[in-house]
Chains A and B, each alone.
Chain A
Amino acid sequence: AQSVTQLGSHVSVSEGALVLLRCNYSSSVPPYLFWYVQYPNQGLQLLLKYTSAATLVKGINGFEAEFKKSETSFHLTKPSAHMSDAAEYFCAVSQNTGGFKTIFGAGTRLFVKA
């Protein structure tokens, strides 16, 4: 069975500081891993995805994530936070077996202080 754990339901950083959002996954087969961002009253927008190619994945808006199989982690980072990064972030895992179904983590709300 698949599962996703996001450490920290709320993360607060200062503008210009490093953003680190943590995600650990469990999967019995090689997974697809995703980070989505959600702004208030909007749908989910894909930031980046891992699909068994390069372990360091670069996404939109300056975000990147590194797949570490030994740690079963897929943490999201951004070197310098911007006020516009304040949003809810979801880590997700999918398997392409028996239909492509996605399991989401509980989400991390990112606050950016001026």
Chain B
Amino acid sequence: DAMVIQNPRYQVTQFGKPVTLSCSQTLNHNVMYWYQQKSSQAPKLLFHYYDKDFNNEADTPDNFQSRRPNTSFCFLDIRSPGLGDAAMYLCATLIEGGNEQFFGPGTRLTVL
């Protein structure tokens, strides 16, 4: 079965301490997305990759970075987490055919 796996599911970090969230996908698609979803809000696109071509949304803070070492894996790095970065972080890719996003289960980030 096609899968998007996110680790960890729950992450606690301290204010200002760098944190990395990971995502892997078995659909072998060349597009991957990272979304931030705050409580009771819609998911907000942070950036996406087309192969290794990185596409940053205009309003994504510089505090958020990403790496994609290969087709299957993608990482979200938060360099200096603030209290406002506490959220659910969702990773997604496209299904074969490319007309539907497939989401992972998310990582819930808590910043103390």
The interface of chain A, by Cβ under 8 A from chain B, is 32, 34, 36, 41-46, 49, 51, 90, 94, 96, 99-102, 104-107, 109
**B99–A101 touching, CB < 8 Å:** no
Chain B: interface residue total (CB-CB under 8 A): 26
Cβ of B86 under 8 Å from chain A = no
**Given contacts A41-B108, A46-B100, A94-B99, could you give 7 more A-B pairs where the C-beta distance is less than 8 Å?**
A34-B100, A41-B88, A43-B4, A43-B103, A46-B102, A51-B99, A94-B101
Determine, out of B14-22, B42-50, B63-71, B74-82, the stretch whose residues face the partner at the interface.
B42-50
B27 sits at the interface (CB 8 A): no
Is the CB–CB distance between B90 and A44 below 8 Å? Answer: yes
Bound together, the chains give a CA A42 to CA B43 distance in angstroms of 12
Taken together as a complex, chains A and B put the C-alpha atoms of A18 and B60 apart, in Å, by: 40
A97 to B93: give the CA distance in the assembly, Å: 16
- Using A42-B105, A99-B31, A99-B55 as known contacts, say yes or no to A49 and B43 having CB atoms under 8 A apart: no
